[in-house]
Structure formats: C-alpha cells, structure tokens
Amino acid sequence: MVSRKLNELHPGEEGTILSFSNQGDVGLKRHLLGMGFVKGSKIKVEKVAPLGDPIKLQLKGYSICLRKDEAKNIEVES
C-alpha cells in the first residue's frame, strides 16, 4: 500500500483515510470529521473537474465535492 494525498488520486481510485495534515484549517478539519472523514474510512474519487478543481468523492454512501486545497490536507493509503 502507498500513502498519498487525496488530491493525488485519479478518478476510480480508492483509498483509506490515514490522517489530516497539521497545516490545514482547524475549522475545516472539524467540519470534515463531522461529515465522516475519519481515520479508516474508505473513500473513492468519482470525478475530477476539467481544470482539476473540485474533486467529487464517494464517502460512506454519499457524494461530496472538495477543493484541491482541501483534499491536499488529507493523507490516504491506496
């Protein structure tokens, strides 16, 4: 298994959330945790916008879009 940032995954790739970067926004981290972005959760990249931003993800049975700047703070194992 390889550890990468969430924004580095391509459409169709899956991963398991490992951690959040300490350099990210604390309020954003709290918000993402509340939406299910917790350690051990499975996540799949569904689509990436033509210019690479935002990224559409599948997490715990629902879809969510994140900006690339937000996704780069999440480390996943793929």
Q: What is the DSSP string of 3-63?
A: EEEGGGPPTT-EEEEEEE-TTS-HHHHHHHHHTT--TT-EEEEEEE-TTS-SEEEEETTEE
The predicted structure's pLDDT at residue 24: 64
User: Domain ranges in the chain?
Assistant: 3-77
What number does CATH give the domain 3-77? 2.30.30.90
Cα–chain-centroid distance for residue 28?
A: 12
- Whole-prediction pTM: 0.83
> How far is Cα 74 from Cα 78, in angstroms, rounded to an integer?
13
Q: How does pLDDT run along the chain (78 residues), one tens digit per residue? A: 789 999 999 999 999 999 887 676 788 888 888 888 889 999 999 999 998 889 999 998 999 999 998 888 899 998
Residue pair 74/16 in contact by the 8 Å Cβ criterion: no
